Amino acid sequence: MIEVSREKFEELVAEALDTIPPELTKVMDNVVVVVVDDPPEPDLLGLYTGIPLTERGDWYAGVLPDRIEIYRNPICSICETEDDVVEEVQITVVHEIAHHFGIDDDRLHDLGW
């Protein structure tokens, strides 16, 4: 396990978001990404809550933003170095953004994520 301050961890999440291709970030809509220390259930590194872009229709208006939570303590607990944390944050951010685009866990697994 490695200790990473909340401030540093938030920077790592921001850096991971910066690696998302602009053509994808342009179509991300009504979503917020936040760092949370602990997940609502064990073994979660991140969680997407919302209505994926692929499921939105004409009815979609005036709703609260989708929420991507990246969990600091579980990620730090499985990492031995700061480089491990950087890699795990990147993987988790990409994974949760994929859910925003309507890609489920089975398909992500097929793609190697």
Confirm whether 42 is domain-assigned. Answer: yes
- Residue 21: the pLDDT is 93
Quote the domain boundaries for residue 106. 6-52+64-111
Q: What residues have CB less than 8 Å from 55, skipping those under 6 apart?
A: 102
What average pLDDT does the chain have?
95
How does pLDDT run across 25-67, given as a tens digit for each residue?
A: 999 999 999 999 999 999 899 999 999 999 999 999 999 999 9
Confirm whether 31 is domain-assigned. Answer: yes
Query: Contact, 3 vs 69, CB < 8 A?
Result: no
Mean pLDDT value across residues 80-91 = 97
Confirm whether 98 is domain-assigned. Answer: yes
Confirm whether 47 is domain-assigned. Answer: yes
Q: What is the distance between the alpha carbons of residues 41 and 94, in angstroms, rounded to a whole number?
A: 20
- Residue 1: the pLDDT is 86
Q: Can you give the pTM of this predicted structure?
A: 0.93
Q: Using 50, 70 and 90 to split pLDDT, how confident is the model at 111? A: confident
Q: Using 50, 70 and 90 to split pLDDT, how confident is the model at 112? A: confident
The number of domains in the chain is 1
Confirm whether 58 is domain-assigned. Answer: no
Q: Strand order in 46-49's β-sheet?
A: 31-36, 66-71, 46-49
6: pLDDT strictly greater than 90: yes
CATH number of the structural domain spanning residue 93? 3.30.2010.20
Confirm whether 104 is domain-assigned. Answer: yes
Confirm whether 57 is domain-assigned. Answer: no
108: pLDDT strictly greater than 90: no
Confirm whether 19 is domain-assigned. Answer: yes
